[in-house]
C-alpha cells in the first residue's frame, strides 16, 4: 500500500515558502538608493581641483615675481590666486554633489581673466603665453561637462544648485 504525497496544511503558520529566486524585502527605513555620480561631474570636478591646486601653488610662488614685473601682472596673479581657490573649493563641492554652480562660476571667471591676461600679454608685453591658452580651454571644458543633462539632473536629484 502506498502513501499519498505529503502536503503541508495551509492553515498552519510558518510553512509559507517564497518562490525560488525571490529577493528579500528591503530593510525598513531605507529610501531609494542614491544615483551614481555621472562621469561628466567627476571629470569636471577633477579638472577643477587640479587647476585650482596648480593655480594656487603657482600663484603663491609667482606673486612676488609678478609684482616685480609691474602692478598689472601682480594684480592678475593675485586675482588668479583667488580664482584658483574657487576652482579648488568648487571642484570639491561638485565632487560631493553639494553645489554645481561654484565650479561653473569659477570657470567663467577664469575665462574672463584668461582673455584679459592674453590681451595684456599681447598689447603691453608683446608676448604670447601657451599657458594662457590652456587656462582658457580647461574652463570651457568644465562648463561643457557641467552643463550636460546628466550632470544637471544629478545635482537636482540631490537638491543642489546647478545651471
pLDDT tens digit sequence for 111-130: 999 998 888 877 776 666 66
5 pLDDT more than 80: no
DSSP assignment of 7-37 equals ---TTSTT---PPTTPPPPPPTT--SPPPPP
Q: What's the confidence (pLDDT) of residue 119?
A: 83
Amino acid at each position: 500500500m502506498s502513501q499519498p504525497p505529503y502536503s503541508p496544511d495551509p492553515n498552519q503558520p510558518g510553512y509559507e515558502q517564497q518562490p525560488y529566486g525571490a529577493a528579500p524585502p528591503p530593510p525598513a527605513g531605507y529610501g531609494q538608493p542614491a544615483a551614481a555620480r555621472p562621469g561628466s561631474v567627476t571629470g569636471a570636478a577633477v579638472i577643477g581641483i587640479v587647476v585650482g591646486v596648480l593655480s594656487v601653488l603657482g600663484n603663491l610662488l609667482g606673486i612676488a615675481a609678478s609684482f616685480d614685473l609691474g602692478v598689472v601682472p601682480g594684480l592678475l596673479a593675485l586675482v588668479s590666486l583667488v580664482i584658483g581657490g574657487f576652482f579648488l573649493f568648487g571642484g570639491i563641492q561638485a565632487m560631493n554633489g553639494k553645489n554645481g554652480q561654484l565650479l561653473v562660476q569659477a570657470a567663467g571667471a577664469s575665462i574672463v581673466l584668461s582673455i584679459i591676461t592674453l590681451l595684456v600679454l599681447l598689447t603691453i608685453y608683446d608676448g604670447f603665453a601657451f599657458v594662457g591658452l590652456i587656462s582658457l580651454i580647461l574652463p570651457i571644458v568644465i562648463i561643457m561637462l557641467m552643463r550636460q543633462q546628466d550632470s544637471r539632473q544629478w545635482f537636482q536629484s540631490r537638491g543642489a544648485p546647478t545651471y
